Amino acid sequence: MSVFQFERRAAVARLLRDRGEAVVITGLGSATYDLAAAGDHDRNFYLWGAMGGAAMVGLGLALARPEVPVLVLTGDGEMLMGMGGFSTIALQAPRNLVVAVLDNGLYGETGGQPSHTGGSHGAARTDLLAVARACGIAEARHVADEADLDALAARLRDGGEGPCVALIPIDPAEAERVLPLRDAVLMRGRTRAALGLSPGV
């Protein structure tokens, strides 16, 4: 049985179409290019490195600013490296945090090798939603179609009873890289300013 796969750029653009005050933190690689392709924004924070750390950066922001919707936009490879973060997210239980995993079953940044979510050679695959649930995140949803994607966008804006993890299956085709801001100091300053804080030093 075939599973519907989104075109990644269209899915990200639709998810963020009415983003409101959301801050979006991207994981390493393609998720960063996808967010940049959807349009640069003062509330975009592109995490160029620290593979596996995007969800934890998002958690920190969600806890510091509980009134602000926070979206972590990352890939399956990056989330596999940071799976332990699900436990801490569940323990802290921020209502304003959504972790959206763009799952193409590949390690796109290192040459397109099959990731654990896709399985290979007949092996069992890792189910990131099952992992999130087992860690205590009750709201772990599969985004199966555009209606589900729109519902996820509404969930991001409106918040929920706890954190949300959403898996968005995407087509494995590579898209042209759209390279956003890389100056970490400038990026931190503009995001702080967008949140009404001093730029910092």
Among the residues of the chain, which ranges form H helices? 8-15, 30-37, 54-64, 76-81, 85-92, 128-134, 146-158, 184-194
CA dihedral 143, 147, 149, 152 (to 10 degrees): -90
| High-pLDDT (> 90) share of the chain, % | 64
Using DSSP, state whether 68 is helix, strand or coil.
Answer: coil
Model confidence pLDDT, tens digit, residues 96-140? 999 999 988 665 566 556 666 676 555 658 899 999 999 999 999
The alpha-carbon radius of gyration of the chain (Å, integer) is 16
Model confidence pLDDT, tens digit, residues 4-60? 889 999 999 999 999 999 999 998 888 999 999 999 999 999 988 778 899 999 999
Model confidence pLDDT, tens digit, residues 153-177? 999 999 999 999 999 999 888 888 8
Q: Under a CB-based contact definition with an 8 Å cutoff, are residues 200 and 189 in contact?
A: yes
Q: Under a CB-based contact definition with an 8 Å cutoff, are residues 59 and 122 in contact?
A: no
Amino acid present at 188:
R
Beta-strand relationship, 23-26 and 44-46: parallel
pLDDT band per the 50, 70, 90 thresholds, residue 1: very low
List all residues 6 or more positions away from 53 whose beta carbon is below 8 Å from its beta carbon.
Answer: 47, 82
Quick one: average pLDDT of 183-193?
90
List all residues 6 or more positions away from 77 whose beta carbon is below 8 Å from its beta carbon.
Answer: 29, 51, 106, 107, 108, 109, 115
Q: What pLDDT sits at residue 109?
A: 65
* Third-level CATH fold of 8-171: Rossmann fold (3.40.50)
Give the residue extent of every domain in the chain: 8-171
Model confidence pLDDT, tens digit, residues 64-107? 999 999 999 999 888 888 999 999 999 999 999 999 999 886 65
